[in-house]
Amino acid sequence: MYAIVEIAGQQFKVEKSRKVYVHRLPNEEGAEVTFDKVLLVDNEGAITVGTPVIEGAKVSATVLSHLKGEKVIVFKKKRRKGYKKKNGHRQFFSQIQISDITA
């Protein structure tokens, strides 16, 4: 059984007991979180598609940890002008574990 769910503005394919990295959630570590924007549910071949969401469907998850992603270097340059800028960016993520999918 899997579901397509919208978490923090992005869509994820989730399954029970699967760990997923999502954009930083405001919940504390160890907190239980429920997502009700379920777009699709596949229950052993029986696919239910929402218009746009499935009424009454929920995905429950537990926040495991908050962390930062890999560093991305942003380098800007204009040739022959002496203009160079170098920045680094690390995105904040939350690791969640899916505990239950109800359709």
8-57 pLDDT, tens digit per residue, is 999 999 999 999 999 999 999 999 999 999 999 999 889 999 999 999 99
Domain that holds residue 18: 2-102
Give the pLDDT confidence score for residue 44 in this predicted structure: 87
- The CB density around residue 53, as the number of other CB atoms within 10 Å, is 14
71-101 pLDDT, tens digit per residue, is 999 999 999 999 999 999 999 999 999 999 9
Give the pLDDT confidence score for residue 103 in this predicted structure: 82
Per-residue pLDDT band at 64 (split at 50, 70, 90): very high
Give the pLDDT confidence score for residue 27 in this predicted structure: 95
Could you tell me if 64 and 99 are in contact, meaning their C-beta atoms sit under 8 angstroms apart? no
Number of domains in the chain: 1
Give the pLDDT confidence score for residue 61 in this predicted structure: 97
